[in-house]
Amino acid sequence: MSQLIGGEGEPHVPHDTTRKLVMSANQIADFFGSQGRHEHAAASTADHLKSFWTPDMRQRIYAHLDATGGEGLKPIALEGVKLLRKAAPGTIRRELAEAGEPSGRDPGDDAG
């Protein structure tokens, strides 16, 4: 099958989905870590991953955690991933809502 990935002599970036997920988790954690309430940063990170990452993506980052201890993940991101993994469904969001923190799943604001 013909492909056009990184033809000879052409620079390209090697594909690594796990690296991308680590980078993404760090970016998310950087944002929530910059918000005033650091104590909720990991929870907000976890909630964002739950809201926007597929189960497969979450499984992949857990696998990375298991295999490497979370290599490359910044502290808040690492804490967020661990929190997400062990939290019962709905608890993170409930706690954030009570604390008034941003959530990727703010209820039906566009519901009118």
Q: Determine, following the binding rule CB under 8 A, whether residue 1 of this chain makes contact with other proteins.
A: yes
Q: Determine, following the binding rule CB under 8 A, whether residue 22 of this chain makes contact with other proteins.
A: no
Q: Which position has the token pair 């597929």?
A: 54
Binder of other proteins out of 59, 71, 91, 102 (CB under 8 A)? 102
Q: Which position has the token pair 């909720």?
A: 40
For the chain, the residue count is 112
Question: Binding string to other proteins for residues 72 to 101, with x set by CB under 8 A, is what?
Answer: ----------------------------x-
Q: Residues touching other proteins: how many (CB under 8 A)?
A: 44
For residue 36, what is the DSSP state?
A: S
CA 49, CA 76: separation in Å to the nearest integer? 13
Site for other proteins, residues 53 to 72, rule: CB under 8 A: 53-57
Helices (H) and strands (E) in the chain, counts: 5, 0
CA 99, CA 109: separation in Å to the nearest integer? 18
- Footprint of other proteins on this chain (CB under 8 A)? 1-13, 15, 17, 20, 23-24, 27-28, 30-31, 34-36, 48, 51-57, 100, 102, 104-112
